Amino acid sequence: MTERQEEIILTAIALIAREGYKNLTIKKLASELHLSEAALYRHFVNKEDLILNIMHYFEDISQNVLQEIQNTNLNPLEKVHYFIMNRYELFTSNPDLAQVMFSDELFYYDPVFFKQFQKISSNHREVLLNFIEEAQKEGFIQSGINSTKLFTIIIGSMRFLITQWNLSGRKFDLVKEGDSLFQTIKNLIAEKKI
């Protein structure tokens, strides 16, 4: 991806966050970037191509952090924590991305977008489930709890907190609250020592 393409993608994300997917047009985007529509079409074939590239942009960010995590010596529960905290930090630094990626609006209009988002989510789920199951085997998390349910608790609470943050106008420290939430969950699911 070129610098110009990334600039276009970030501007499109900001426009979607501000005005909604239905109101994103190539004309509006070109105007926002002070480009001609023809110049924009040299980078993306059409609106759908642009949206798919937004998805790829998000997927690339996620893959990079998952690769970082794989290269650490953290225990499996710390790896889950690392991923979750990375999401909070990413969305704090780019709140428009949080609003777009956690909005269902984008996926109502095209099954291709929905399928791409499902692919990204499925990859996250697979990697995090693996970390959770390893954490159970190594005694960091209670082994009697279904790992899929644990994933839902951890990711579901993260999504809910991000939604609350967006709805509040981002009035609280997402990283601080996110870490506190994760520590609470960790205390609830930790292997009990006798």
Is the Cβ–Cβ distance between 54 and 100 less than 8 Å? yes
What 167-176 contacts at long range (C-beta under 8 Å, 24+ apart), as own/partner pairs, is 170/95, 174/88, 174/91, 174/92, 175/85, 175/88, 175/89, 175/92
Give a yes or no: residue 178 inside a domain.
Answer: yes
Give a yes or no: residue 5 inside a domain.
Answer: no
Average pLDDT over residues 131-140: 96
The SS3 call for residue 141 is strand
Report the pLDDT value the prediction gives residue 106, as an integer from 0 to 100.
65
| CA dist list (Å): 121 to 55, 56, 62, 124, 170 | 11, 12, 10, 5, 24
Listing DSSP states for 79-117 in one string gives HHHHHHHHHHHHHHH-HHHHHHHT-SHHHHS-HHHHHHH
Q: Each residue of 19-75: pLDDT tens digit?
A: 888 888 999 999 999 999 999 999 999 988 998 898 889 889 989 999 999 899 999
Q: Each residue of 180-192: pLDDT tens digit?
A: 999 999 999 997 7
Is the Cβ–Cβ distance between 93 and 110 less than 8 Å? no
Q: Rounded to the nearest 10 degrees, how much is the dihedral formed by the CA atoms of 125, 150, 93, 64?
A: -30
Q: Each residue of 81-134: pLDDT tens digit?
A: 999 999 999 999 999 988 888 776 666 666 777 788 888 889 889 999 999 999
Q: Rounded to the nearest 10 degrees, how much is the dihedral formed by the CA atoms of 115, 13, 31, 43?
A: -50
Domain boundaries, position 182 = 55-189
Give a yes or no: residue 81 inside a domain.
Answer: yes
Per the structure, how many domains does the chain have?
Answer: 1
Give a yes or no: residue 20 inside a domain.
Answer: no
* pTM given for the model: 0.86
Is the Cβ–Cβ distance between 84 and 43 less than 8 Å? no
CATH of the domain at 168: 1.10.357.10
